[in-house]
A and B are shown apart, each in its own frame.
Chain A
Amino acid sequence: MDLKNPSCDTTRAPVSQQGGVCTLPDLEAPKVTVNIDGIDVEVVSGTTILEAANQIGVKIPTLCQHPDLAIAGVCRMCVVEVEGMRTLQASCAYPITGPMTIKTQSRRVRQARRHILDLLLRKHYGECYACVRNGVCELQSLAEEYGVDFFRFGHPTEPLYEVDTSSYSVHRDMNKCVLCRRCVRTCVDLQEVGVYEAVGRSNQTRIETFLEKPLADVVCINCGQCINRCPTGALRANDPSDEIWAAIDDPTKHVVMQTAPSPRAGIGECFGLEPGHALTFEMNTALRRCGFDKVFDTNFSADLTIIEEGTELIIRLKKALVDGDADVKLPQFTSCSPGWVKFIEHFYPEYLEHLSTAKSPQQMFGALIKTYYAQLTGIDPKDIVTVALMPCSAKKFECNRPEMVDSGFKDIDYGLTTRELGAMIKEAGIWLPDMPKSDFDDPFGTATGSGVIFGATGGVMEAALRTVIELVAGQKVENFYDHADIIPVRGFDGVKYAEITVPEVGPVPDLLKDLVPSWDFLKGATLKVGVAHGTANAKRVMEDIKAGGIFSQCHFIEFMACPGGCIGGGGQPIPTSPAIRAARAKAIYSEDAAYEVRKSHENPAVLKIYNEFLQDGPCSHLSHNLLHTHYTPRGKFIS
């Protein structure tokens, strides 16, 4: 795709610019045979020693290496001996271009690994028992696997740094940092946010923010991608589970859980399942056994978001095309990713009016639970505690935004990540994969496939298109796309662009009649849409818009802060990789395919709420009060 003004720094070739998926090896390149530990293996020239060893099941330990990130070669855990070379070579960084003999477990290599671990532990402070990463820590595993028996070069007995708990989303304990710089490469290269950097030098090197400011005071977008790639417990999400347990234990509180689509595709990984096993209905049972009073499906409010956001788009289009309103801002940007919202607030505040004013599904749901649901059930909203299970660390910040109190209360009390729920379920003595299945609770019970696919990049766009096409054209979307699968907006390309022509228009449905008298203005129109995931790709699209490129001509663009969309969110199980995210996405699309109702505007619960509660329809006064929001321009430069 030809982008104008692509701002990416290609010298470090972050994987984000390849759509979060590693490039395939060049099949044209010549083949080379190398010998690793006595085993011959034929590889494509340019393959690294590490990759070649993996192909034949020889395990070389790594620490700073990560499948999403550019090679750093700094930890030196993966060194191997190459015959004829004086020095050990970092296998992650050494491309094979000719025949060579490699030893991965010679005495020299083993001693080097042991010493490197001894040296890393020299500065790693923290008790494994009391660490969020106990059992899922790469440093701990390495120490176990590679024979650390005592602290040869010492071990800190006291913390050196204060833990930074300033952020609603991400907490940093630099006492546990081993300077692998995966967070730096994530923040600078993969996400192009640039909060973290290695500061100082020598043994005094630390990973720090600008002037060592607390994370809450810098341009952090709370995406949590750094947490997902941290090998130790140095980075973690702000965990509210103790407060949630306390609410559950309090008989006066009515604790309501809503679960987003992505956690159900990921939570099995917390219980040792292969990525890609959705445990939606097992999780419902587990949540009830944990003591949640109600379990709702965020897909309901995802469908609602489609109606509100889609209506907003139609209003903008009508203003631009029919009323000739020059001030209307197009393209409209999605607003459901709180990481993206904070990103645009920091880096492109002049474009805030392009953001849909529709709240995210999480926040819409919170506002409705504490109004509509409270009325319906007669429970005093002050006694309702709303918890949102999200794949996301930024949702924790979002629910704490001061404006998110439209119900008269904090719309969502706690954002809980997939990882944290996994731990809560374990704490309750529940083995999730063994749970019987149960459904979501009413009155929001029924969801659609459109809500589910919100979890994957392109999903919001696909859901929106299913609804918009059908409502405007007056005929089934299946007439245009087989099985209503809108393939052009699917997949892991970093940036996607698609054009959809509306050949004919139907009657305006009742729900929208007050807003648009006729669809005629859309007859024969070409709807241009874009999709970007990962903020580095979002930046490319924004720069293209600024330069008047192809995306400036779009009508609607979906932005997700995390690579892969929500399935790759900062609250999802660790580890992450392109393959893991692809497996989670597959689980989500399979779930979509299995739904009977797959379009948001056909969701009976949504239709019911417009009948009973939001009677003036989408984008009306009440819906604006409860379901829409505003944004805060923030600076890129904080002093």
Chain B
Amino acid sequence: MKPDVRARILDLAATYPTPKAALLTALETVQQAEGGHLSTDSLSEVAALLGVPLGTVYATASYYTMLNLKPVGKYHLQLDTNIPAMLAGAEDLLAHMEQALGIGVGETTSDGLFTLSAVEDLGACGTCPVLQVNDRYYENMTPACFDELLANLKQGVVPEWKTEGNWGTECNMLLARRGKPNSTALAGYVADGGYQALEKALTLSPAEVTQMVKDSGLRGRGGAGFPAGVKWGFLPKDSTKPVYLVCNADEGEPGTFKDRQIMEFDPHLVIEGMAISGYAIGAKLGYIYIRGEFAWIADILERAIAEAREAGKLGNNMLGRGVEFDIRVTRGAGAYVCGEETALIESLEGKRGNPRLRPPYPAVSGLFGCPTIVNNVETLSSVPFIVREGAEAFRQIGTANNAGPKIFGVSGHVKNPGAYEFPLGVPLAKVLEAAGGVVGNLKAVIVGGLSTPILTAEECRDLTLDYDTCAKYGTGLGSGGIMVMNDTVQIPAIALRTIQFYAHESCGQCTPCRQGSVAIEQMLHRVVEGKGTPEDLDNVLHLCKTIKGNTLCPTGDAFSMPIEAMVGKFRGEFEALLPKAGADLAV
């Protein structure tokens, strides 16, 4: 290991209560420094450096898809093949890539230049298909684009390939600064009134700020819709331990690409939101846990944090008022489950992202056993407005129990897939219209990310997008990742792809999720291949019922509910795939 890498790891380790917590970042750092994979020697060195058992180092490295235990080509080509990508033609693109490269998925070209991988959702559903080359995204890919990219890479040129996704806003809050030039710079943010909310918050007591957030009715935007101010209120009053604020930026739910819109184009909005929230809950340190694939966004955040710190907006004397709050960015390494708050905390502690048993809840015992509040990017980014304009102004947006704006990520069969900010309670039809309207005949919509039950065109005709109405319709607003499917889509194929995703992402801890997901996958695979039986469909439904509410974390619900809905609502399509009576099953 090179001395500078060693030094970087040791410096990082010193920032944690225990050096072990630096494990995940250390592995990422070493991999990057040593040509894309982790050798046995580097695993041993990291173990020795941080005082972690070798078995634990290996276990951690093997958990995250971005950590490679085997050598990869100079260019690691990772094509997102999840459902939004599928709807945008990723399957054809993958076939084209295999042909162009002369290798299959999981293989490396003989010259050692290219490794091809088919990966899960990359958080670019509005700009699919998306190809990740090492740590760079190439969005809106087509076979022709790929050929051009490939030619460049073969020349050793890694081209710039900036794709501007579609977007729009009716609320001008979360995406207000999206179109502005150089929107990530502090100066522009301040010129637009940024950090005034922080100024104001610091003139109030933490309890007053918390009360404002409570009064605003802001509900968590990560998916559960739990009132943010109430969550803050769960912190123990008499704890002597430090309190941590964690910003969940592990955007990984297929169909979701909203948080990156804020972080990439308006990072100071998140930072200010965190500074205010940190002050309100008494935290001196906040972490942004961002999915590792968003490497360039993490860079943007780190630059913005440094700039804010330089300008006294963060640090041990925020705005000269003697309040301490700082932010560190930690990068994930490819694990969907780390979006679940306790798994995220484990990962922040440098471990495998295994969800924890609750109770205790993070508010009582979270990061390093200390009281911890985990909030989503979009939630925290809503806080500056609430403080600046007041809770009432926030409540004016949206509906009675569903206040404020929400970014909806629309993907699939619409003309202009993209990110659109509307008040909660907006009719689905209006969002689809903003996205240019449905291409073809609408068949079904998933409105809240892949973990929410699918709705038929009929069911969603009058749907308005807020937490309560979606629940009434038997689905969930979730993350607001809307996936639109027209009548060219076969639901059994979607169901199979859905369960493949969850079977791949299950952390593997608890039986129903680990074995149940793969059992369902096997049965649906049989059905889609035309070798299924009616019992397979019944067993899928039975198993979904068992798994629902019976796993250690919500991941079991996240696949049992949508699969149940797909099989239940489109059973005819599944049954049509079953072999006819008397047909030879042994094919």
Q: Are A210 and B55 in contact (CB under 8 A)?
A: yes
- Asked whether any CB of chain A lies closer than 8 Å to the CB of B357, the reply is yes
CB within 8 Å of A: which B495-543 residues: 503-512, 514-519, 522, 539, 542-543
Q: Which A residues from 36 to 81 make CB contacts under 8 A with B?
A: 71-77, 79
Q: What are 11 contact pairs spanning A and B, CB under 8 A?
A: A73-B552, A74-B511, A112-B512, A115-B546, A119-B511, A119-B515, A122-B519, A153-B539, A200-B62, A202-B518, A209-B55
In the assembled complex, which residues on chain B have CB atoms less than 8 Å from the CB atom of A11?
368-369
Q: How far is the CA of A11 from the CA of B360 in the complex (A)?
A: 12
Given contacts A87-B549, A88-B550, 13 further A-B contacts (CB under 8 A): A73-B552, A111-B545, A116-B512, A153-B519, A153-B543, A179-B511, A197-B53, A197-B59, A201-B505, A201-B508, A203-B508, A203-B518, A211-B58
Q: Is the CB of B54 within 8 A of A112?
A: no
A433 part of interface (Cβ distance < 8 Å) = no
Instruction: List the A side residues contacting B48 at CB < 8 Å.
Output: 636-637
Closest 10 CB pairs of A and B: A194-B53, A87-B549, A205-B508, A197-B59, A119-B515, A210-B54, A203-B518, A115-B546, A197-B55, A153-B519
Complex Cα–Cα for A293 and B539 (A): 60
Bound CA span A188–B56, Å: 9
Q: Say if the beta carbon of B44 comes within 8 Å of chain A.
A: yes
Contact with A along B306-341 (1 / 0, CB 8 A): 000000000000000000000000000001000000
Chain B nearest Cβ from A9, distance in angstroms: 8
Contact of B517 among A79, A200, A202 (CB under 8 A): A202
- Mask, A166-209, CB within 8 Å of B = 1, is 00000000000001010000011000011111111111110011
Nearest opposing residue in chain A for B512, CB measure: A76
Which A residues touch B55, using CB under 8 A?
187-188, 194-197, 208-210, 218
A483 at the interface (CB under 8 A from B): no
Q: Tell me the minimal C-beta distance from B548 to chain A in angstroms.
A: 8
B47 within 8 A of A: yes
Does B57 contact A210, Cβ atoms closer than 8 Å? yes
A235 within 8 A of B: no
Contact with B along A205-230 (1 / 0, CB 8 A): 10011110000001100000000000
Closest to A109 in B: B550
> How long is the Cα–Cα vector from A337 to B574 in the complex, in angstroms?
62
CA distance A204 to B518 in the complex (A): 10
- Which residues between 62 and 83 of chain B lie within 8 Å of chain A, taking CB atoms? 62-63
Query: A72, A195, A637: which contacts B44 (Cβ < 8 A)?
Result: A637
B238 in the interface, Cβ–Cβ < 8 Å? no
Q: Is B516 in contact with A199, judged by CB distance below 8 angstroms?
A: no
CB contacts (< 8 Å) of A218 on chain B: these are 54-55
The answer to the question of A152 belonging to the interface, with a C-beta cut-off of 8 Å to chain B, is yes
Indicate whether B258 reaches chain A with its CB closer than 8 angstroms. Answer: no
B40 at interface by CB-CB < 8 Å: yes
Asked whether A200 and B54 contact (CB < 8 A) given A119-B515, A122-B515, the answer is: no
Confirm or deny: A639 has a beta carbon within 8 angstroms of a beta carbon on chain B: yes
Residues of B close to A202: CB separation below 8 A: 503-508, 514, 517-518
Query: How close is A146's CB to chain B, nearest CB, in angstroms?
Result: 13
Known: A122-B515, A203-B503. A637 touches B54 (CB 8 A): yes
What's the nearest-Cβ distance from chain B to residue A8, in Å?
A: 12
User: With an 8 A cutoff between CB atoms, is A638 at the interface?
Assistant: yes
Residues of B with C-beta under 8 A to A111 = 542, 545-546
Contacts of B41 in A (CB 8 A): 639
Contact B507–A201 (Cβ < 8 Å): yes
- List residues of chain B with CB within 8 A of the CB of A578: none
| A436 contacts chain B at the CB level, 8 A cutoff | no
B37 within 8 A of A: no
Neighbouring B residues of A75 by C-beta, 8 Å: 510-511
Roughly how many angstroms separate A410 CA and B55 CA in the complex, as a whole number? 33
**Complex-state Cα separation, A193 to B514, whole angstroms:** 27
Given contacts A76-B550, A119-B516, contact A203 B506 (CB under 8 A): yes
Q: Are B519 and A119 in contact (CB under 8 A)?
A: yes
Q: For A72, A75, A93, A119, which residue has the most chain B Cβ atoms within 10 angstroms?
A: A119
Complex contact B514–A203 (CB within 8 A)? yes
Q: Give chain B residues whose Cβ lies under 8 Å from the Cβ of A112.
A: 512, 546, 550
| Count, chain A residues at interface, CB 8 A | 53
Task: State whether the Cβ of B221 lies closer than 8 Å to any Cβ in chain A.
Answer: no
Distance, CA A126 to CA B69, complexed state (A)? 30
Q: A115-B543, A639-B44 are in contact. Are A199 and B514 (CB under 8 A)?
A: no
Q: Give the chain A neighbours of B57 by CB distance below 8 A.
A: 210
* Nearest B-chain residue to A152, judged by Cβ: B539
Does chain A have a CB within 8 A of B413? no
Is B181 interfacial (CB 8 A cutoff)? no
Assembled-state Cα–Cα distance A86/B511 (Å): 19
Determine which residue in B58, B511, B517, B542 has the highest number of CB atoms from chain A within 10 A of its CB, and name it.
Answer: B511
With A115-B546, A179-B508, A637-B48 already in contact, the answer to whether A199 and B539 are too (CB < 8 A) is: no
Q: Quick one: given A195-B55, A218-B54, are A201 and B550 in contact (CB under 8 Å)? A: no
In the bound assembly, the distance between CA atoms of A219 and B58 in angstroms comes to 14
Tell yes or no: A359 within 8 A of B by CB.
no
Measured CB to CB, the closest approach of chain A to B60, in angstroms, equals: 8
How far, in whole Å, are A120 and B548 apart by their CA atoms in the complex? 17
Q: Give CA–CA (A606, B522) in the complex, Å.
A: 67
Are B63 and A116 within 8 A (Cβ)?
Answer: no
CB contact under 8 A between A210 and B546, given known A119-B515, A202-B517: no
Closest B residue, CB atoms, query A205: B508
Given that A188-B56, A201-B335 are known contacts, is A73 also in contact with B515, CB under 8 Å in the complex? no
Residue B211 at the chain A interface, CB threshold 8 Å? no
**With A and B bound together, what is the CA distance between A77 and B512 in angstroms?**
10
Q: Report whether A203 and B352 are in contact in the complex, using a CB–CB cutoff of 8 Å.
A: no
Please measure, in the bound complex, the distance between the C-alpha atom of A79 and the C-alpha atom of B548, giving whole angstroms: 12
CB distance from B117 to the nearest CB of A (A): 16
Question: Is B196 an interface residue, CB under 8 A from the partner?
Answer: no
- B359 interfacial contact with A, CB 8 Å: yes
CB distance from A32 to the nearest CB of B (A): 15
Which residues 412-458 of B have a CB within 8 angstroms of A?
A: none
User: Is B506 a contact partner of A73 (Cβ separation < 8 A)?
Assistant: no
Q: Does A123 contact B (CB under 8 A)?
A: yes
- B29 at interface (Cβ–Cβ under 8 A)? no
Given contacts A197-B58, A203-B517, A639-B40, contact A115 B53 (CB under 8 A): no
Query: Considering the complex, which residues of chain B in the window 1-49 have a beta carbon less than 8 Å from any beta carbon of chain A?
Result: 40-41, 43-44, 47-48
Bound form: Cα–Cα A11–B509 in Å: 19
In the complex the two chains form, is A120's CB within 8 Å of B549's CB?
no
